[in-house]
């Protein structure tokens, strides 16, 4: 794609920064190593083993324990954000493509790290392939939606909820590739990416981040400040912790000898109460 086309197409602009940030050293989080470290103070070795091999929810780890681990991770990443400047932050900024602003890539690098950590705690599958340095389309799609949630877009909230439901129903250990790249979620991914791309010019990116956070007088320049990082991370944490994936399920064998996860009676009742109450996503930004 031509350079000027990238700069003029909001969706492509966002995608270019996301892909570049994901390639920066230190941005990717090893799921197994992270879960073992994050849960070590709160869980038994057996719970940790099951959390790694399956999910924290399947291991029966209570939500309040996961919330504590999530808060610890947010504090840890926030401390890094507040001590690193744009010049001395995540290494590799000098090697970014010319079309990718260095400050935007660093913003995204910090946000990508906490997004992965929160996703793994709240029972999402591994987001990155260990066989490739790049982003596959499904991973790029879900990360786009996570960023949309952090920026407060209603459509991203709805789409992340739908993807979580698909993973929960299929007891999947990977992202639903088709839904995120060709199916029902894909148009929502494109719309959210376009919305975020509009906010991402060199001149307006820092201002758009600060506008997404209700902090009076916050001035954002250079690095991603503590004042913006914390509310965005907490927004994603709140949403991910509320989804179906966080609810423990019981493994049963059906009449045909096939193993499936069965929701509890309380979960089924909650689903029943929620039937027919969903509303269409509203404007891009939530109130």
Bigger pLDDT: 149 or 98?
149
Can you give 90-138 as a three-state secondary structure string? CCCHHHCCCCCCHHHHHHHHHHHHHHHHHHHHCCCCCCCCCCCCCCCHH
For range 267-279, the mean pLDDT:
43
Q: Model confidence over 64-117: pLDDT tens digits?
A: 999 999 999 999 988 877 665 444 344 454 455 555 556 667 778 889 999 999
Q: Say what angle helices 226-240 and 137-150 make with each other, to 10 degrees.
A: 110
Tell me if 162 sits within 8 A of 184, measured CB to CB: yes
Res. 141: pLDDT tops 60: yes
Please answer whether residues 14 and 197 qualify as being in contact, where contact means their C-beta atoms are separated by less than 8 angstroms: yes
Q: How confident is the model at residue 252 (pLDDT cuts 50, 70, 90)?
A: very low
pLDDT, mean over the chain: 76
Tokens of 165: 């439901």
The C-alpha atoms of residue 24 and residue 148 are separated, in whole angstroms, by 21
- The whole-angstrom separation of Cα 181 and Cα 186 is 5
Higher pLDDT: 25 or 146? It is 146
- Whole-prediction pTM: 0.76
Q: Output 4 or 245, whichever has higher pLDDT.
A: 245
Dist. CA 37–CA 190, nearest whole Å: 35
Calculate mean pLDDT across residues 57-67: 94
Per the CB < 8 A criterion, the answer to whether 249 and 58 are in contact is: yes
For residue 287, what are the contacts with CB-CB under 8 A and spacing of at least 6?
none
Which residue, among 13, 2, 46, has the nearest Cα to 201 in the 3D structure?
A: 13
Look-up: residue for tokens 């930004």?
285
């Amino acid at each position: 794609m031509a350079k000027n086309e990238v700069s003029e197409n909001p969706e492509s602009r966002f995608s270019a920064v996301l892909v570049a940030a994901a390639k920066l050293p230190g941005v990717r989080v090893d799921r197994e190593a992270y879960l073992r470290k994050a849960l070590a103070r709160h869980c038994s070795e057996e719970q940790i083993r099951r959390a790694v091999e399956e999910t924290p929810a399947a291991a029966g780890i209570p939500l309040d324990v996961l919330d504590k681990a999530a808060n610890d991770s947010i504090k840890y990443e926030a401390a890094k954000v507040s001590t690193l400047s744009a010049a001395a932050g995540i290494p590799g900024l000098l090697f970014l493509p010319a079309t990718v602003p260095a400050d935007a890539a660093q913003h995204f690098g910090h946000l990508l790290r906490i997004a992965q950590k929160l996703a793994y705690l709240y029972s999402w599958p591994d987001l990155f392939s260990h066989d490739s340095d790049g982003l596959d389309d499904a991973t790029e799609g879900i990360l786009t939606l996570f960023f949309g949630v952090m920026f407060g877009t209603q459509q991203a909230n709805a789409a992340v909820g739908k993807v979580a439901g698909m993973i929960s129903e299929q007891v999947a250990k990977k992202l639903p590739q088709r839904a995120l790249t060709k199916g029902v979620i894909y148009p929502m991914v494109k719309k959210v990416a376009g919305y975020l791309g509009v906010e991402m010019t060199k001149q307006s990116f820092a201002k758009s981040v600060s506008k997404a956070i209700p902090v009076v007088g916050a001035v954002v320049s250079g690095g991603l400040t503590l004042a913006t990082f914390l509310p965005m991370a907490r927004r994603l944490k709140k949403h991910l912790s509320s989804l179906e994936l966080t609810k423990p399920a019981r493994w049963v064998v059906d009449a045909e000898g096939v193993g499936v996860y069965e929701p509890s009676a309380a979960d089924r009742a909650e689903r029943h109460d929620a039937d027919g109450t969903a509303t269409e996503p509203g404007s891009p930004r939530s109130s």
